[in-house]
Amino acid sequence: MTALQLELVQYDKKLENLKDENDQLVQRWMKKMSTEAEYMNDVNLELQRARRASLLSPNTDIQSIDGNFFSSSVNNPAVLSAGTRNSRVTWSAYPRSVKKRIDARSSELHTMDISNDGHILATGGQEKTVNLYDSMTGEIVYRLKGCLSSVNHVKISSDNRLAIAGSSDTSIYTWDLARMKLKDTLSGHIGKVTRVAISKDSSRIVSCSQDRTIKIWDVKKNVCTKTIFSSSSCTDMCPLDYNCNTIVAGHMDNSIRFWDTQSGNSIHEIPRLHRHTITSVSCSEDGRLLLTNSRDGTLNIIDTRTYLPTVTMSAKDYKPTANWGQAKLSPDERYVAAGSMDGNIFFWDLAKSGKSSTMVKLYSQSPVVGLCWHPNTTLFYSVDVKGSITTME
């Protein structure tokens, strides 16, 4: 027995030594990654400038598609600086019928967003452009150019002054929507940029990448002010407050993590919330409710004050779109919408605790990659990977 006890003590010491070595390796790896990221921040910026200077002429930042920026009420780019959300519409029922279909004529689309005033739809994809549409007529009004690779995610700032895109070329691009010109390129990631977000005052941009980092950027100075390292790649993220001081991220390891972007520290983690990769996270405007979607076919509503799930949803025929399947809360927080791999849209009524779902067939049979609720009307938009934009009401 004594010999076994001595051997056990020796194994315990070896285990402690291995743990110490592992901690040292992790610290060295994080320090090395931080150094490389800062180095790449400088090198990529110079590289992008040189490539753009050789590939793009001053007139290729923007291609005007229509002489009128918008028909009817929105016919001047200056309106972009004045957009504010009106009183939220109350949804008495989920969208049931297709009002319009738009052929985006794109090789492949990855993302869609709607402006804060509801006038603009923005899409991005394989063609390396961000396309702007009149949300009411469906007419394309501008193509924003400048990306050197495909667009993975696009966002329009709350004041409607900036469009932001995360690209597969590891960079974040910003366009001035008042002048419709490429404004800046933010470089520093060493993997594809999968998601971007911007603070309400447009002073900070947050980006996440397949390089397992989340970066915070100063828009005025065009520099990375903080890099957050994670043990798992981030598939989606969203801010919980106006200034992006707190963000929540969904990860490949099926977990949700809350981050303080000022200190770079983890606030809270919900490990293994789903049985499979989390495909999207989105929150209510006040940050009180968090909606998560997963490849396991389930969706959760999380109370961000307690970090506990309050509603769990699923549907028999619901099949999320790979690792990027989107789900969105309606502006009045009553309905949840999610796009399926077969091109259909599923709706859940939170007033009924999300216990029953309704499928609306769009007959496109192409994976849905983007969803948007109109902020001020009862219109709903979806886009599939083949470039078909559908308006529902």
Q: pLDDT: is 81 or 195 the higher one?
A: 195
Query: 124 pairs with which residues across the strands?
Result: 111, 130
Q: Is the residue at 28 inside a domain?
A: no
pLDDT at position 128: 92
Structural domains counted in the chain: 1
51 pLDDT above the threshold of 60: no
pLDDT at position 22: 73
| Greatest mean pLDDT range, 3-17, 28-42, 148-162 | 148-162
C-alpha 205/C-alpha 198 separation (Å) is 4
DSSP state of 80: G
C-alpha 50/C-alpha 44 separation (Å) is 10
Q: Is the residue at 47 inside a domain?
A: no
66 pLDDT above the threshold of 70: no
C-alpha 61/C-alpha 173 separation (Å) is 12
250 pLDDT above the threshold of 80: yes
Q: pLDDT: is 53 or 362 the higher one?
A: 362
Tally Cβ neighbours within 10 Å of residue 241: 14
pLDDT at position 17: 77
Q: Is the residue at 300 inside a domain?
A: yes
Q: Is the residue at 100 inside a domain?
A: yes
Q: How confident is the model at residue 34 (pLDDT cuts 50, 70, 90)?
A: low
40 pLDDT above the threshold of 60: no
305 pLDDT above the threshold of 90: yes
Q: What is the CATH number of the domain that holds 213?
A: 2.130.10.10
Q: Is the residue at 279 inside a domain?
A: yes
What average pLDDT does the structure give for the chain?
83
Q: Is 55 helix (H, G, I), strand (E, B) or coil?
A: helix
289 pLDDT above the threshold of 70: yes
Q: How confident is the model at residue 67 (pLDDT cuts 50, 70, 90)?
A: very low
Q: Is 323 helix (H, G, I), strand (E, B) or coil?
A: helix
Q: pLDDT: is 102 or 166 the higher one?
A: 166
Q: Which domain holds residue 299?
A: 56-392
Say which residues have a Cβ less than 8 Å from residue 384's Cβ, sequence separation at least 6.
109, 339, 343, 362, 364, 366, 367, 368, 369, 390
74 pLDDT above the threshold of 80: no
Q: Is the residue at 181 inside a domain?
A: yes
Over range 17-32, report the average pLDDT: 71
Query: 239 pairs with which residues across the strands?
Result: 247
Q: Is the residue at 16 inside a domain?
A: no
pLDDT at position 258: 97
Q: Give the DSSP H or E segment for 10.
A: helix 2-55
Say which residues have a Cβ less than 8 Å from residue 251's Cβ, sequence separation at least 6.
230, 232, 233, 234, 235, 257, 278
Over range 32-44, report the average pLDDT: 60
pLDDT at position 10: 74
16 pLDDT above the threshold of 70: yes
Q: Angle at CA 246, nearest 5°, toward 241 and 248?
A: 100
C-alpha 170/C-alpha 44 separation (Å) is 9
Over range 190-211, report the average pLDDT: 94
Over range 292-303, report the average pLDDT: 94
Per-residue pLDDT tens digits for 75-123: 343 333 334 444 457 776 788 888 888 887 667 899 999 999 999 999 9
Residue 269, Cβ density class (10 Å: 0-12 exposed, 13-18 middle, ≥19 buried):
middle
Closest Cα to residue 201, out of 159, 240, 162? 159
pLDDT at position 269: 95
pLDDT at position 212: 93
Q: pLDDT: is 265 or 66 the higher one?
A: 265
pLDDT at position 32: 65
Q: How confident is the model at residue 56 (pLDDT cuts 50, 70, 90)?
A: very low
**Residue whose pair of structure tokens reads 């109109």 in the numeric block:** 374
Q: What percentage of the chain carries pLDDT values higher than 90?
A: 60
pLDDT at position 97: 87
Query: Quick one: tokens of 374?
Result: 């109109």
Q: Is the residue at 157 inside a domain?
A: yes
pLDDT at position 20: 75
